């Protein structure tokens, strides 16, 4: 269903979710309601981010999270509002967040019967908010393993990424976009501030098989594995037949870098280093959802040797090396890493 607005037709996020509800007969509307509330929470966070320079919401909150990172005031705001929105749905029984050491279990009423668990990085790249760089929210949804009507536990979250029923991200930038997949392709919705609705703007996103952008923090070059150094040299070689040298683009906000490469074609690299031998990005609520989106758009996601979605999680905040983007470029990274071993 589309709706005429001025001279063009729009499909809102809620309309799109309802139209696609038939794809998931097991859900009986619960997943649709959960995705609707994700959109509501994203609009609340977006409004606060847009006012960040005018209210006392910038800067550090004075705490350090489980990752050993300084907590920003906007981290706490986003975390609290997503939790509140998901609690109110009754469809989510527990949440795992980057900001919390343990899972948050909804055991205070109807949400006990919730069918889903929710993993999130409520505000990726928040350290950049003070300098007006795009930030985002990353999320992942799984069906619970424990019996409905009982409190959820850690086993509900320690599932491989192949078990995700939905994944997505919100990017708060020059425009605010929500990009998500339920395993039936990837679609992007841009927030129209005039009507306060996310509207379908990027239907059936497909990432190029090969791109010309590589995204990595080259300031850490001395600490990279030999295979990653080899790949960077490959990107810098002049070869008109393969459109090299490639363009280096690195924002330092995972959602922003991945979103650009998803649309234009490229590869994002966050390898292991001497200081972080297991990598830095978290498997459950950063790598898995981004990997699902990449694969649904025709791309690939790897830890350098294994498909990200097949890695068995062992810990709520488990870290892994991460290479994601256009399929051929990720395969070149894997080849370079294999040759250097």
Residue 214 marked ligand-binding? no
Residue 241 marked ligand-binding? no
Domains along the chain with CATH numbers: 3-202 (3.30.540.10), 213-340 (3.40.190.80)
SS3 59: coil
Q: How far apart are CA 168 and CA 31, in angstroms?
A: 13
Token pair of 231 as six digits: 């790949």
* CA-closest candidate to residue 111, choices 149, 79, 144: 149
Residue 140 marked ligand-binding? no
Residue 98 marked ligand-binding? yes
Q: How many CA atoms lie within 13 A of 318 on its CB side?
A: 18
Residue 126 marked ligand-binding? yes
- Model's pTM, two decimal places? 0.91
Residue 284 marked ligand-binding? no
pLDDT, tens digit only, all 341 positions of the chain: 445 444 457 899 999 988 887 776 665 678 888 999 999 999 999 988 887 654 455 545 445 455 555 556 788 889 999 999 999 888 899 999 999 999 999 876 554 678 999 999 999 987 777 777 889 999 999 999 999 888 999 999 999 999 999 999 999 988 999 999 999 999 999 999 999 999 999 999 999 999 999 999 999 999 999 999 999 999 999 999 888 999 999 999 999 999 999 999 999 999 999 889 999 999 999 999 999 999 999 999 999 999 999 999 999 999 999 999 999 999 999 999 999 98
Residue 113 marked ligand-binding? no
Stated as kind and residue range, the H or E segment containing 137 is: strand 135-143
Residue 334 marked ligand-binding? no
Task: Classify residue 88 as exposed, middle or buried by CB count within 10 Å of its CB (0-12, 13-18, 19+).
Answer: middle
Residue 286 marked ligand-binding? yes
DSSP H helices in 213-340: 226-236, 254-264, 288-296, 327-340
Residue 124 marked ligand-binding? yes
Residue 250 marked ligand-binding? yes
User: What is the model's pLDDT at position 70?
Assistant: 53
The DSSP annotation for 182-238 comes to SSS-EEEEEEETTTTEEEEEE-S----SS-SEEE--GGGGGGS-HHHHHHHHHHHS-
Token pair of 143 as six digits: 């069906």
Stated as kind and residue range, the H or E segment containing 62 is: strand 60-64
User: What is the model's pLDDT at position 63?
Assistant: 52
């Amino acid at each position: 269903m589309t709706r005429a607005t001025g001279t063009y037709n729009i499909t809102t996020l809620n309309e799109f979710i309802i139209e696609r509800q038939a794809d998931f007969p097991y859900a009986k509307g619960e997943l649709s309601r959960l995705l609707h509330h994700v959109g509501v929470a994203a609009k609340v966070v977006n409004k606060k981010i847009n006012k960040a320079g005018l209210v006392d919401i910038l800067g550090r909150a004075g705490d350090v999270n489980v990752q050993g990172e300084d907590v920003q005031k906007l981290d706490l705001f986003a975390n609290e509002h997503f939790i509140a929105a998901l609690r109110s749905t009754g469809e989510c029984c527990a949440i795992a967040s980057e900001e919390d050491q343990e899972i948050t279990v909804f055991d205070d009423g109807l949400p006990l019967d919730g069918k889903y668990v929710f993993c999130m990085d409520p505000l990726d790249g928040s350290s950049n908010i003070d300098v007006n760089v795009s930030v985002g929210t990353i999320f992942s949804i799984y069906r619970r393993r424990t019996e409905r009507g009982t409190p959820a536990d850690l086993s509900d979250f320690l599932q491989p990424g192949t078990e995700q029923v939905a994944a997505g991200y919100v990017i708060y930038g020059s425009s605010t976009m929500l990009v998500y997949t339920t395993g039936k392709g990837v679609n992007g919705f841009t927030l129209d501030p005039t009507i306060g609705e996310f509207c379908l703007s990027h239907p059936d996103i497909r990432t190029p098989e090969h791109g010309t952008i590589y995204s990595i923090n080259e300031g850490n070059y001395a600490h990279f594995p030999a295979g990653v150094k080899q790949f960077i040299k490959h990107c810098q070689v002049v070869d008109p037949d393969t459109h090299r040298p490639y363009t280096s683009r690195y924002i330092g906000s995972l959602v922003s870098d991945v979103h650009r490469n998803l649309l234009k074609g490229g590869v994002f690299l966050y390898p292991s280093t001497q200081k972080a031998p297991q990598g830095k990005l978290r498997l459950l609520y950063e790598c898995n959802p981004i990997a699902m989106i990449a694969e649904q758009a025709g791309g690939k996601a790897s830890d350098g040797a294994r498909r990200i979605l097949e890695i068995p999680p062992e810990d709520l905040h488990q870290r892994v090396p991460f290479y994601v983007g256009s399929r051929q470029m990720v395969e070149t990274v894997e080849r370079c890493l294999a040759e250097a071993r």
